[in-house]
Structure 1
């Protein structure tokens, strides 16, 4: 499988959880569907639907603050400003691994030429970002090994047989990420992840199930988990 990696970063980001209303909470890192949306923006595809997969590597500490903003709202045909409490990620940075057969070649060309058709941002228009090409690899999809190993990306909980806890690590679980985008603002399935708050690689014993709906590869001795 061909895998292309690129970095995105910004001073702030907001990936709103769909189950929040008055207070707009954020996911702790970029969801896979948003990462694919960035790829769609780079390629100029407005309603981007693909079977390609993505993996998310944290390049910065997960830091969340709450801020009250005056946002533009709508009501009864009139426009008004409404105070809204919103969670923001501070100084977020991610490495996106994009693999598959549909759009990888097109993405590689765009990234290498520093070209994007549409503006790219991290969840909200006030969090602009510029994707930076990192590299391209030909990787073999593997059955998860039956030995302890480190994962370079955030790890789907369904892949973990056992977590090997290490001193000085701050483990977090993030639930309820949308998994598959069907087009026309419709999603199906959800996925939960385990990650280390400071972006460190997690040491795990993977499950040996063959029906895991994800791609597992090895890069530089570490696991890549693409969903």
Structure 2
């Protein structure tokens, strides 16, 4: 099968963890559900429809960390616009401490089973065409992206090194090496069109962008490197 590869980056990112409320925390990498939204913005699917065309049933996603994960906290002001009638009459403001990713950059690997959608995605990413603004989570966190290529992905029976994040269930054993930082996060991997998550996975990563070593299954050989697709 073929995989399109592109890089995406920005000054800040925020992918809200589903279990945080008053002080929002962010995932270290965009969950597959967030990548579905990015692809929908590129292809021109509206926010109420893109999950009908891009979801875990027809799309495989791989995520490689390019910049070491850095998180900072900033206070943002939320204003009440519902009952004010006019902007200058707004009086209610709430300051919320929010966690952001600083200078996030990722390499995204995508395969879509629908050839028509997949070819359209290749054309749009290659020529930097989008219908909606692509962001890193929140609408005001604008992202840039760059096409890297389209490659054949060959399934592997087993692997000893991967350059992407990987679901915990694909890991048979892992080697802990000095100088590497390991992290595990529970992420949503699929959603219904009403935006209710339907599946979660524990995702393992090396937060500095270094390789994971050990014994892994369900991996692919792409462009002379081993990746995991979710």
Residues 220 and 115 from structure 1, CA distance in 2 versus in 1: closer, same or farther, beyond 3 angstroms? closer
Runs ≥4 residues deviating over 6 A:
none
Other-structure match for 2:107: 95
Structure 2 unmatched ranges of 5 or more: 85-89
User: Quick check: which one's helix share is greater?
Assistant: 2
Number of matched pairs: 215
Other-structure match for 1:48: 50
Residues 64-75 of structure 1 correspond to what in structure 2 (within 5 A)?
64-73=71-80
Residues 70-89 of structure 1 correspond to what in structure 2 (within 5 A)?
70-73=77-80, 77-78=83-84, 80-89=92-101
TM-score normalised per structure 2? 0.88
- 3-state SS, counterpart of residue 155 of structure 2: coil
Whole-angstrom CA distance in 2 between matches of 1:140 and 1:217: 5
Conserved? CA contact 2:33–2:189, under 8 Å: yes
Residues 73 and 61 from structure 1, CA distance in 2 versus in 1: closer, same or farther, beyond 3 angstroms? farther
Whole-angstrom CA distance in 2 between matches of 1:123 and 1:8: 12
Other-structure match for 1:191: 201
Whole-angstrom CA distance in 1 between matches of 2:164 and 2:110: 12
Q: CA deviation at 1:121?
A: 0.2
Q: Could you tell me which of 140, 147, 153 is aligned with 1:126?
A: 140
Q: CA deviation at 1:140?
A: 2.3
Structure 1 unmatched ranges of 5 or more: 208-214
Whole-angstrom CA distance in 2 between matches of 1:162 and 1:73: 50
Conserved? CA contact 1:2–1:104, under 8 Å: no
Residues 100 and 140 from structure 1, CA distance in 2 versus in 1: closer, same or farther, beyond 3 angstroms? farther
Whole-angstrom CA distance in 2 between matches of 1:106 and 1:89: 30
Q: CA deviation at 1:117?
A: 0.8
Conserved? CA contact 1:149–1:222, under 8 Å: no
TM-score normalised per structure 1? 0.89
Conserved? CA contact 2:154–2:222, under 8 Å: no
Other-structure match for 1:139: 153
RMSD between aligned residues: 1.6
Conserved? CA contact 2:191–2:199, under 8 Å: no
Whole-angstrom CA distance in 2 between matches of 1:168 and 1:64: 19
Conserved? CA contact 1:2–1:101, under 8 Å: no
